[in-house]
Amino acid sequence: MLVSAKEMLTKAKAGKYAVGQFNINNLEWTKSILLTAQELNSPVILGVSEGAGKYMCGYKTIVGMVNGMLEELNITVPVALHLDHGSYEGALKCIEAGFSSVMFDGSHYPIEENVAKTTELVALCNEKGISIEAEVGSIGGEEDGVVGAGECADPDECKMIADLGVTMLAAGIGNIHGKYPENWAGLSFETLDAVQQKTGDMPLVLHGGTGIPADMIQKAISLGVSKINVNTECQLAFQEATRKYIEAGKDLEGKGFDPRKLLAPGAEAIKATVKEKMELFGSVGKA
């Protein structure tokens, strides 16, 4: 059964480790992530962007697929199904469809509007026992075609949003989605420290988990980060493994490519990436 992310993140914050959010794009990715979490006895959050939601035939299809896998694969570790960077309308649809967690990304609205919309969604999520993530200070890079510059959040605005009763808070600290540029200034631990001091026990979320050096990840966890999002790294691993398989050209004869064989190396590569991240984040054995 899917669970809200609240309990796993409260435990992570208290235990000074982070739960990984791994974004899914298809059946193979989802299965790889769930099997790895089970094997490592780690809690896990499956992230779904609105674009991936459309690709996978809508939120109801995803809920059906994930619930089916939890049962058929005998997954007993805590699993949350979470909308990543949701719009207000997207969050409503996911709540309706059976997601156990949503992110409402109101970071591009003026703070008053972010507060108003977040307040409304918090009430709805509380009613249904669903966890909710809010964002302050836009995360840089590209996410579903929207490009942000990687701002540092204002700690007072973070407190304002945290006080609305959200479950977890994503604060921009110079992090970027996708690959980091050569001249990246690194995470602003000063901002993170100030946000944590203002928001107390609130689990903080680090987006853009791909390519952040291990020592920065560990420092961020020590300063209150309890959820780390990873997407691009799984995409790159999947792409590279698939490319190698195609280049080897084994199945070009006869019936052509067998999709089950074609996608298998990518699925294995995702397992390896997820394992490496769970070990780095410290969530292994914490289910």
Residues in contact with ligand 13P by the rule CB under 6 A: 23, 47, 84-85, 177-178, 207-210, 229-233
Decide whether 251 or 276 has the Cβ nearer to ligand 13P.
276
How far is it, in rounded angstroms, from Cα 236 to Cα 227? 21
Instruction: For residues 62 and 57, give the distance between their C-alpha atoms in angstroms, rounded to a whole number.
Output: 8
Q: How far is the CB of 121 from ligand 13P (least distance, A)?
A: 18
CB-count burial class (<10 Å; 0-12, 13-18, 19+) for 88: middle
- In this structure, the dihedral spanned by the alpha carbons of residues 91, 92, 98 and 99, taken in order and rounded to 10 degrees, is 10
Q: How far is the CB of 38 from ligand 13P (least distance, A)?
A: 22
User: Tokens 């982070």 — which residue?
Assistant: 18
Question: What is the DSSP code string of 184-228?
Answer: -----HHHHHHHHHHHTTPPEEE---TT--HHHHHHHHHTTEEEE
Q: What single-letter amino acid sits at 164?
A: L
Work out how close the CB of 255 gets to ligand 13P at its nearest, in angstroms, rounded to a whole number. 35
Nearer to ligand 13P, 163 or 266 (CB): 266
User: Which of 69, 78, 100 shows the shortest CA–CA distance to 287?
Assistant: 78
Smallest separation, CB 229 to ligand 13P (Å): 3
> Is the Cβ of residue 41 or residue 179 nearer to ligand 13P in the bound state?
179
Taking the least distance from each CB to ligand 13P, the nearer of 197 and 223 is 223
User: Over 126-190, what HEC string results?
Assistant: HHHCCEEEEEECCCEEEECCEEECCCECCHHHHHHHHCCCCCEEEECECCECCCCCCCCCCCCHH
Residue 170: CB minimum distance to ligand 13P, A: 8
What's the rounded Cα separation, in Å, for the pair 261 and 22? 23
Interstrand relation of 141-143 and 19-23 (parallel, antiparallel or unpaired): unpaired
Q: Phi, psi at residue 146, to the nearest 5°?
A: -100, 125
Looking at the DSSP bridge assignments, the partners of residue 82 are: 47, 101
Residues with a catalytic annotation lie at: 84
Please, which residue, 211 or 251, has the CB nearer to ligand 13P? Answer: 211
Nearer to ligand 13P, 123 or 147 (CB): 147
Q: Report, in Å, the least distance between residue 206 CB and ligand 13P.
A: 8
